[in-house]
Amino acid sequence: MHEQAHGIVIGAGFGGIAAALRLRAKGYRVTLLDRSGALGGRAQVFERDGFRHDAGPTVITAPFLFEELFELFGERMADHLTLVPLTPWYRFRFADGDTFDYGGTLEQTMAEIARIEPRDCDGYLALLAHSKRIFAVGFTELSAQPFDRLVTMLRQIPRLIGLGSYQTVWGLVSRYLTSPKLRQAFSIQPLLVGGNPFNTTSIYGLIHFLERAYGVHFAMGGTGAITAALGQLMQRHGIVVQLNTTVSSIRVEQGKATGVQLENGTLLNADLVVSNADAAHLYGAMLKPRQQALSARLKLAAAHYSMGLFVLYFGTTRTYPDVAHHTISMGERYRELLKDIFERKVLADDFSLYLHRPTATDPSFAPAGCDSFYVLCPVPNLQGGINWQEQGPLLRDRIVAALDATLLPGLQESITADFFKTPEDFQHDYLSVHGSGFSVAPLFRQSAWFRFHNRAEGIKNLYLTGAGTHPGAGLPGVLCSAKVVDALIPAATAVTRAT
């Protein structure tokens, strides 16, 4: 009996959804499995008392990567989803109360820089030019290029050295800017993908040009609207989605992935498997060590993980019209705070915060006369041994008090329907090793060939997408990881099965 080759995708985060769509476009019969009750992976949607919250990613920087998924099937994303550009992209608030609006036109950004430090105007243009050079190689050429062969990496090393990728993001920014405030503002990008600016490779400096070239967008209805539109796209084209389904292990026979075993004991057969699970969880819990190549075991043993996230969701019974859609509130300390989070792994008394106010753009996120918020606070991952049952409520109260005294006066009286997630929730809900927010950290020694490969190491017919594989975390990264897998997997052919 001849039938379509079958691909199973584990995990319905954006990397898994993109991989499922790309497999379907190649002619595979596709089954997508996820342990959550809804699509999106970390991009869940929470609703409480009339307030809606995007649980995870909220910054859309490369809309074309979503457009490509619709174009695979001859459709237009714009027919199913509305993206709106934001200005500013981010508002920074510094500890002394000064602000810096970043984004909009180049002229707007230059005027803001001149207000803080006129001498840094030329430096910013030089930084942007350097970022464009990194983007041309690091994103345009290499983000969708498989790095499963060492020779590929060796071929690129001279160019990467020429771009100064051995430098850190902080080192790159400090080369061009002198203002301490602007150095902070232009070096925080690694935190959006789980890295410390003081040791993340400056390859991530390409984000400056990515934002400048394509802008920062918000989907009307939120990131959940993107997930819903992609879910409908999968439905229209025959992808089978099974939610509330946890995969416990990959079936490997004679060195090949032949399917998966579910937590309830059910076996599902497949001709190939794509894992969008946390890469460290895949190698640590879903495969036996003897099934893996030595390279994967060594990477797992030496892995350095991204930070954890404490995320506080809440509504307010009033509005804050002066608060931007994306606000980054910088604490008194920068380098030392990051050291506490990434190296010492202790919960500091101070913090820096990312504040998301979707009602600035889409009032449907809250009842009339109210605002919807989430606040993201970088914290140590679970390797820090923090007792979150005890510390979670205390940190919640400290954050509310700090916002009440600064960005959101009157918050103590107007906050409503609040709840929070800690690294323990990331570990439980998403099977993220050590509750890390973004899988393994974006260090140079954990990039490209040194990262977990998109073609599983030591196992045929098993592929990886998501934050822990090449090219890395963040929405552009995980969507590009599916493009890499697309390049590695041949078009489907009919297979013969015994009847």
Which residue shows structure tokens 């820090």? 384
Q: Which pTM value belongs to this model? A: 0.95
Tokens of 292: 């893996």
Residues 6+ apart with CB under 8 A from 172: 127, 130, 164, 202, 205
Distance CA 482, CA 384 (A): 32
Per-residue confidence (pLDDT) for residue 154, from 0 to 100: 67
- Beta strand extents in 357-456 (DSSP E only): 371-379, 415-421
Q: CA geometry: angle at 434 spanning 66 and 13, to 5°? A: 20
**Strand 217-219 to strand 240-242: parallel, antiparallel, or no bridges (unpaired)?**
unpaired
pLDDT along the chain (499 residues), means of 10: 89 98 98 97 96 94 96 98 96 96 95 97 96 83 72 69 77 96 95 91 88 95 97 98 98 97 97 98 96 93 95 98 97 95 96 97 98 97 98 98 98 98 97 96 81 95 96 93 96 69
Gap between the Cα atoms of 387 and 347, Å rounded: 10
| Length of the chain, in residues | 499
User: pLDDT at position 3, please?
Assistant: 83
Cβ of 179: how many Cβ atoms within 10 Å? 17
Element (H or E) spanning 99, and its range? strand 99-102
* pLDDT at residue 446, as a whole number: 84
Q: The tokens of 6 are what?
A: 């079958």
Residue-level pLDDT at 392? 98
DSSP secondary-structure letter at 304? -
d(CA 256, CA 279): 18
* Dist. CA 26–CA 19, nearest whole Å: 11
DSSP characters over 102-167: E-SSHHHHHHHHHHH-TTHHHHHHHHHHHHHHHHHHHTTTTTTS---SHHHHHHHHHHHHHTTTTS
Return d(Cα 59, Cα 475) in angstroms, integer: 8
Q: Is the dihedral of CA 476, 477, 482, 487 positive or negative?
A: positive
Residue spans of beta strands (DSSP E) within 330-474: 353-356, 371-379, 415-421, 462-464
* Both tokens assigned to 365: 């996120």
For residue 368, the tally of other CB atoms under 10 A from its CB is: 7
* CA pair distance 196, 489, nearest whole angstrom: 34
